[in-house]
Structure 1
Amino acid sequence: MGFTYSSEDSLAAVRMPTGQSILIDPSSRLGESCIEVIEGVARVYCPCEETEGMTLAFLQKGDQIRADRLCSEGVCVEALTPLCFKTQNESTSSTGFDAVNEWTLQLLRIRHLGSAEQRLQALLALLVNRLGRRCGDWCDLPFRLTHERIGELIGSTRVTSTRLISRLRSADLLNVPAGEPILRLAPVLIETAPLAA
């Protein structure tokens, strides 16, 4: 896992290309500072050796991470699409909503579904409902995840997630357009998912 190490002092506004990760310095947890996504989609994950890059959340424009709530090892932010984020002294959210906690709860709920098929369908529905959009006959997700990452998110192996994705593709429920960094999912897959909101 490669990432750029950064301290809060160097983070005014950061632009990152797709696929790049940055470690947010755990010593920057002083006070009420936060990191806010300005544009793009990011994956937030734990850099701890024991958790092997465990995904904590996916963030999009307007979502914030409170720096005082990071683990002792810090947190990594990976750009799933071209990403821009900034730091500020205080959170602008007065509602008490914490995007990372909300995502972590939703991902935990998915991990407790009975079968890998259910977990995959619930994960895809969650991602599309929160980060995607309906485009004609398909629902588009603006990024792709590796089969290994999907396996991590649903609590299965890469081989199992590859097999399940192949079934969805064969049933015309999932499409991976060549040359485009998106996933297309059939609306029926999203609408019938377990835990659908």
Structure 2
Amino acid sequence: MSFRFLPDDPSSSIRIPSGQTVLINSDDHSDCMKLNVLEGIARVYCPCEETEGMTLAFLQTGDQLRTDCLCSEGVCVEALTDLRFETKSNVPSNTGYDSVNEWTLQLLRIRHLGQAEHRLHALLSLLVSRLGKRYGEWCNLPFRLTHERIGELIGSTRVTSTRLMSKLRNGDMIVTSASKQEIKLSPELIDSSPISF
């Protein structure tokens, strides 16, 4: 696994190109730090060998990640689109909305659906409702996930994910292009999710 390390000192602007990953090791930061996403979309995942890169959350502009809420191994932040964030130190503990906990809860809800097809359907609906936009007759998701990553998110194999994505593609429910890092999804697919978000 290849990644950069987050600087120890607070920074007003850190840029991470799409496809790169930053490791946030909780042991390296004696004080609580907060990462604020200024632009872009990121995937937060556990770097532990036992969990094999388990996705905890997705972050977008305005979301925050607190380093005092991490597991002992820390977390990795992967830029799904070009990403810009800032870090701040000495953040007092507070209660309220936590985007990482909310994402983890929603991903857990998806994993408990009985059929892999329903889990994929719910995952795509969640991603579009939180991170996508409606453009004309399609909903757009501004990044793509590998079939292996989709399998991890829905609790299936890469082969199952590939089969299910092909079924959606053949049914004109999703459209992908080799030249673009986005997915177009039909509003009917998103609106008929087995879970409401």
Tell me which residue corresponds to 1:97. Answer: 97
How many angstroms does 1:26 deviate by?
1.5
| Change in 2 beyond 3 A, CA 1:92/1:122 | farther
Q: Measure, in 2, the Cα distance between the counterparts of 1:35 and 1:186.
A: 33
Are the aligned partners of 1:29 and 1:70 in contact in 2 as well (CA < 8 Å)?
no
Long gaps (5+) in structure 1: none
Distance in 1 of aligned mates of 2:23 and 2:138: 35
Matched, 1:73 2:68: no
Q: For 1:81, what is the secondary structure of its paired residue?
A: coil
Which residue of the partner structure matches residue 17 of structure 2?
17
Deviation digits for residues 110-143 of structure 1 (CA, Å, limit 9, x no counterpart): 0000100000000000000000000111000000
CA, structure 1 residues 24+12, in 2 after alignment: closer, same or farther (shift >3 Å)?
farther
Residues 7-26 of structure 1: per-residue CA shift (max 9 Å, x gap): 43275421011100010121
Work out whether residues 10 and 86 of structure 2, in 8 Å CA contact, stay in contact via their aligned partners in 1: no
Q: Is the CA contact (8 Å cut-off) linking 1:45 and 1:75 kept in structure 2? A: yes
1:179 aligns with 2:176: no
Secondary structure in 1 matching 2:193: coil
SS in 2 for 1:50: coil
Q: Which is further off, 17-26 or 3-12?
A: 3-12
Matched residues in 2 for 1:70 and 1:95: separation? 16
Within a 5 Å distance, the mapping from 1:1-197 to structure 2 comes to 1-9=1-9, 11-89=11-89, 96-197=96-197
Identity %: 61
Q: Which amino acid is the alignment partner of residue 138 of structure 2? A: W
RMSD over aligned CA atoms reads: 1.7
Say which SS state the counterpart of residue 105 (structure 1) adopts. helix
Deviation of 1:5 (Å):
2.3
Q: Which runs of 5+ in 2 are unaligned?
A: none
How far apart, CA to CA, are the structure 2 residues paired with 1:110 and 1:157? Answer: 15
Is the alpha carbon distance of 1:167 and 1:188 closer, same or farther for their aligned partners in structure 2, counting shifts above 3 Å?
same
CA separation in 2, counterparts of 1:194 and 1:133? 20
Q: TM-score, normalised by structure 1?
A: 0.94
Q: Per-residue CA shift, 1:132-167, capped at 9, x if unaligned?
A: 000111000000000000000000000000000000
Distance 2:184 2:147 in 1: 15
Cα gap change, 1:167 to 1:92, in 2 (>3 Å)? farther
Moved more, 127-136 or 12-21: 12-21
- TM-score, with normalisation over the residues of structure 2? 0.94
Cα deviation for residue 4 of structure 1 reads: 1.3
